[in-house]
Every structure is written in structure tokens, then in C-alpha cells.
Amino acid sequence: MTVERAILLIVGFIVLASVLLAVFVNLNWLWLSGLLAAHLIQASFTGMCPVVMTLKKLGLPSRPGFA
């Protein structure tokens, strides 16, 4: 597993959890998806993402782009 694929997996789980919590618990859980989207936009411009830095420290390899 590479850092890029791990990020996709983590983001997918968080968005899915947020939507399910919004449907079954409270609509305010959709704020989590909104915050995640804002962070992804910010990270695309700055290149700074705490989760990526953590995954790299854990030793996951990184590959540029998708194949």
C-alpha cells in the first residue's frame, strides 16, 4: 500500500462514515464531510497534509501519480 492509496482509503472511510452518521443520527455530521473537502482543497495548494506526513513516518512508500 502506498501513501496515495492509503489517503484515498482514509478519505473514503471518513466521507462514508459522515454520510451514514448524517442519515442515521444527525444532519450536522455533514459538516465533517465539508471540513474534509476544505482540507483537501487546502492541501492541494499547499502540499501540507498531517495524515500524509504521518503515513510517511510509518514507512509507507510514495509513488507519484496513479497507474
Q: What is the pLDDT of residue 65?
A: 67
* 41 C-beta neighbours (distance < 10 Å), count: 10
Q: Is 10 exposed, middle or buried (0-12, 13-18, 19+ CB in 10 A)?
A: middle
Domains of the chain: which residue ranges?
Answer: 3-54
For the whole prediction, is pTM greater than 0.85? Answer: no
**Residue 5 pLDDT > 70, yes or no?**
yes
Q: What is the pLDDT of residue 28?
A: 98
For the stretch 9-57, pLDDT in tens is: 999 999 999 999 999 999 999 999 999 999 999 999 998 999 999 999 9
